[in-house]
């Protein structure tokens, strides 16, 4: 009975976070998009499901996840193989790289548990180190100085934003509102944490100071706005917007578009037309180091 309860809990937690079953016969297209010129380039297009690109901090490759593993792909579309597959298994799409390029952060599940957060050196010199004992915990951001991790976690039935020292320790709760708070990501200047929240009854983008103070709503329209990724120049953030109300969920396989939010004026412009995407398209930080490009995944039903 205990095992059945735990499995049911994990299923419900993953469903609420949008980790739904992906249909078969899906083609995934890894794209880089210039936010200034609107130029798009397809890096990789294959009949399989992969997700959530990170751009390496040196700009040389993209990191994606698929079937619980991480893979490297260079900017010419050459597949560079699985990334330390002997060390990283059961990973989900909440992963990323520290600002100095030396640390990998992953969210993954061990048998009988939901997502927990781990770190390991990018050079693979030591295995993943567990940071969050409590679960479910889904990583989304690291501070520019590398000292703190920001993540979404469910505690006592509520999904909120937390931070924890990168080396582990006591977690600190930053939000305390009804409804899902998700996607926390540090700005490049270390002054803000951007996140999305369903507190108003519709998913919108927000930001707050890194201690949780000065929580400020940034989007106010009738779209569902998720995962604000602040730009390297601290002036804009890329968001993924669902055309229809998803009732606080983040499902795969919906009509979405990417938009660029001016974080001071609140003005928003479209970066893409509407496409088939959602969960897995742009869950985590995917800006190029020079701030000109973003990477994302567009899906196609075969």
CATH number at residue 36: 2.120.10.30
The pLDDT value given to residue 17:
58
For the chain, what percentages of helix, strand and coil (3-state, to nearest 5) are there?
5, 45, 50
Name the percent of the chain lying above pLDDT 70.
Answer: 93
The pLDDT value given to residue 21:
64
CA distance 205 to 162: 17
Cβ-proximal residues to 136 (8 Å cutoff; 6+ apart), any chain: 10, 13, 14, 17, 114, 115, 116, 153, 154
Going by pLDDT thresholds of 50, 70 and 90, the confidence category of residue 233 is: very high
SS3 7: helix
The pLDDT value given to residue 126:
96
The pLDDT value given to residue 24:
77
**Is the Cβ–Cβ distance between 81 and 96 less than 8 Å?**
no
What are 133-174's pLDDT values in tens digits?
A: 999 999 999 999 999 999 999 999 999 999 999 999 999 999
Mean pLDDT of 187-203: 98
Name the percent of the chain lying above pLDDT 90.
Answer: 91
Mean pLDDT of 211-215: 98
Q: 238: domain range?
A: 2-301
Question: Which is it for strands 224-230 and 69-74: parallel, antiparallel or unpaired?
Answer: unpaired
- The count of domains in the chain is 1
Higher pLDDT: 192 or 14? It is 192
The two three-digit tokens of residue 77, written as one number: 């579309």
The pLDDT value given to residue 293:
98
Calculated CA dihedral for residues 168, 284, 124, 292, nearest 10 degrees: -130
Mean pLDDT of 83-105: 97
Going by pLDDT thresholds of 50, 70 and 90, the confidence category of residue 12 is: very low
Determine the length of the chain. Answer: 302
Distances (CA, A) of 105 to 28, 109, 165, 230, 264: 23, 14, 13, 18, 29
Mean pLDDT of 109-115: 94
Mean pLDDT of 34-56: 97
**pLDDT, averaged across the chain:** 93
Residue 203: count of CB within 10 angstroms of its CB: 28
Mean pLDDT of 27-40: 97
């Amino acid at each position: 009975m205990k095992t059945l309860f735990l499995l049911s809990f994990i299923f419900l937690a993953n469903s609420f976070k949008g980790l739904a079953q992906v249909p078969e016969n899906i083609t995934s297209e890894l794209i880089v998009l210039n936010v200034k010129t609107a130029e798009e380039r397809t890096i990789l297009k294959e009949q399989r499901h992969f997700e959530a690109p990170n751009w390496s901090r040196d700009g040389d490759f993209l990191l994606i996840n698929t079937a619980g593993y991480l893979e490297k792909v260079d900017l010419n579309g050459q597949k560079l193989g699985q990334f330390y597959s002997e060390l990283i298994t059961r990973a989900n799409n909440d992963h990323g790289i520290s600002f100095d390029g030396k640390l990998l952060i992953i969210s993954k599940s061990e048998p009988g548990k939901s997502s927990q957060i781990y770190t390991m050196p990018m050079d693979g010199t030591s295995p993943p180190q567990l940071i969050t004992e409590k679960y479910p915990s889904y990583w989304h951001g690291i501070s520019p100085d590398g000292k703190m991790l920001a993540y979404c976690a469910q505690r006592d039935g509520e999904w909120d934003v937390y931070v924890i020292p990168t080396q582990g320790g006591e977690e600190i709760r930053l939000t305390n509102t009804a409804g899902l708070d998700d996607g926390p990501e540090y700005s490049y200047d270390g002054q803000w944490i951007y996140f999305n929240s369903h507190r108003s009854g519709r998913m919108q983008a927000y930001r707050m100071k890194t201690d949780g103070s000065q929580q400020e709503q940034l989007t106010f329209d009738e779209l569902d706005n998720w995962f604000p990724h602040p730009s390297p120049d601290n002036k804009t953030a890329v968001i993924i917007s669902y055309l229809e109300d998803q009732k606080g969920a983040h499902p795969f396989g919906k009509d979405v578009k990417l938009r660029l939010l001016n974080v001071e004026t609140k003005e928003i412009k479209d970066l893409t037309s509407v496409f088939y995407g959602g969960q897995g398209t742009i869950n985590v930080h995917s800006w190029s180091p020079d701030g000109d490009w973003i990477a994302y995944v567009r899906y196609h039903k075969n």
